[in-house]
Amino acid sequence: MSQVDLGTLQGLVCAPSFHTAAAVIFIAIAWQSKYLRWPLILMNGAMLLSTPIEGTHYLSDMIAGGFVGIFAVCAVAALQRAFLTWRQSDAWNVKKRPQNTTRKNCTKSTIKLWRRSNV
């Protein structure tokens, strides 16, 4: 079995850059919090600046990674909107007990009638 020396690896550049995709996603998530926004922008900015300098990715890899990150953020936002729309639709709604009918002010017969009408 041969060993791989991590210090001598060369030419292992792959597209897209998931460092860039992760940075875009982290910035999009942190943008909602005024306390996390600027610290995470600075940390992810440092990661983005060090990626081509370190030699692990080309600029084209980073651009493609940026598109992957933007696509991921947009896809999650679209799925959230679709889920909320579906949840508010009639397919999700279940017939609810009338507000004035609780166990305290209902007799057994009214509860049975309510259960029969909602089956």
Output the six-digit token pair for 91.
């397919």
Cα gap 76→62, rounded to integer Å: 21
User: Beta-carbon neighbour count of residue 105 at 10 Å?
Assistant: 8
Which are the contacts of 14, defined by CB distance < 8 A and separation ≥ 6? 57, 61
**pLDDT tens digits, one per residue of 19-49:** 899 999 999 999 888 898 999 999 999 988 8
**pLDDT tens digits, one per residue of 68-86:** 999 999 999 999 988 888 7
Average pLDDT of the chain to the nearest whole number: 78
The conformation of residue 56, written as its DSSP 8-state character, comes to S
Continuous H helices in 1-119: 18-30, 37-54, 59-88, 108-117
Q: What pTM was estimated for this model as a whole?
A: 0.62
